[in-house]
Amino acid sequence: MNKIQPQPAQKPPRYAGSRTIRLPIAQTDYARFVEDRAFARTCLEALMEQHPEIFPAPMLEHYVFYGFTASSRKLGLRCRRVRLGQRGAAVFTLAPSFVLPYMSARTEQIEAGLLLLRFHVPAWVVAYVCGRSAMYWYRLQCTLGRFSVVGTTVKHAERLPAHVVADEKHTRLCGRKAFVAMTVGSDCILGASLSQNATQEALEAAYGVFAKEANDLNPAYAPETVNTDGWPATQNAWRALFVAIVVVQCFLHTFLKIRACATKHLAEAFEAVSDKVGLPGRDETVVFAAFASSAGVGRGLACCLDDEAPCAGIVWQAGAFCLEL
């Protein structure tokens, strides 16, 4: 007779990364939040209703208080801890938002120093004005990149932008040329990752930081279009990250290429064409073509207005491109 084997107990889900939840609690209420369990539960229930995105999903259904952290030597503060279920479940720390990670300082203590760093004031000058050491302010500035830019900016998945802009800012790192891969959407910077060079592999890794952070918020997220310049590595990197994305080329580079083809005898045509660039709200589609003669000695510029032209955005093909206005 076969015996029924007992099923192994289901293991609770594991959470990678930080297990600290930052709560927007006023300093005047924090002491009571730590000492009074009923007040702490009331505050958590209100915050979970108002800002559910900052809490793990299981915590919205069930949690229990799980003691306190040790008192901080730097600030003398303790933090409550919560467990998301039965014994063995994940434990999270509830930290106030008016202190920095690792209890290194209160926010009002470093506000003036960060303002000076914003205007490229050297760290040793900030230390002279605000106290502490130059290395303290240097490390504090570096830790600003520790958090997810998308996760701390966009709180709801449905607000992720469907159309983004991407470009590389040229800079220097330790005396060598480097590039900062910038991603912007909905009038907000959503990505700024360093790339050692401008190859497709390097840019794919840099822009991939934005892709990962956006997918953490919405695993099915895929922007519809990305506006870039004419650098092929940038366009190929975005096509590798989001297969179905449509690459739209920069309007400024469009105008510059049109101007480069305009000679003196095409001055009137250039004025007519330039008026069509960068004027949204039109119903027609303007198609510009830059071409060279077979002998390679003449260049011309044509402008065609076609309401039924099958183009969307800017698409390079055989030396011509389409621009939908």
Q: Which two tokens stand for residue 243?
A: 């297969």
Residue of 46, 94, 97, 103 whose CA lies nearest to 71: 103
Distance CA 49, CA 193 (A): 34
Distance CA 156, CA 325 (A): 31
* pLDDT for the residue numbered 94: 95
* pLDDT for the residue numbered 17: 60
Kindly provide the b/e burial profile for residues 261-274, where b requires at least 16 CB atoms within 10 angstroms of the residue's own CB.
bbeeebeebbeebe
Residues of the chain with pLDDT under 50: 279-325
Distance CA 264, CA 262 (A): 7
Give 100-122 pLDDT, tens digit per residue. 888 889 999 999 999 999 999 99
Q: Which two tokens stand for residue 239?
A: 């096509």
Q: Residue 318, by phi and psi: left (phi above 0), alpha (psi -120 to 50) or beta?
A: left
8 Å CB contact between 59 and 46: no
* pLDDT for the residue numbered 315: 34
The phi, psi pair for 5, rounded to 5°, reads: -75, 130
Q: For residue 241, what are the contacts with CB-CB under 8 A and spacing of at least 6?
A: 204, 207, 208, 211
Q: Which two tokens stand for residue 246?
A: 């449509």
Distance CA 309, CA 284 (A): 9
Residue of 232, 280, 230 whose CA lies nearest to 257: 230
The phi, psi pair for 251, rounded to 5°, reads: -65, -35
Decide: residue 108, CB within 10 A, 0-12 exposed, 13-18 middle, 19+ buried. Answer: exposed
* pLDDT for the residue numbered 2: 56
Number of Cβ within 10 Å of residue 26's Cβ equals: 10
8 Å CB contact between 180 and 171: yes
Give 31-44 pLDDT, tens digit per residue. 999 999 999 999 99
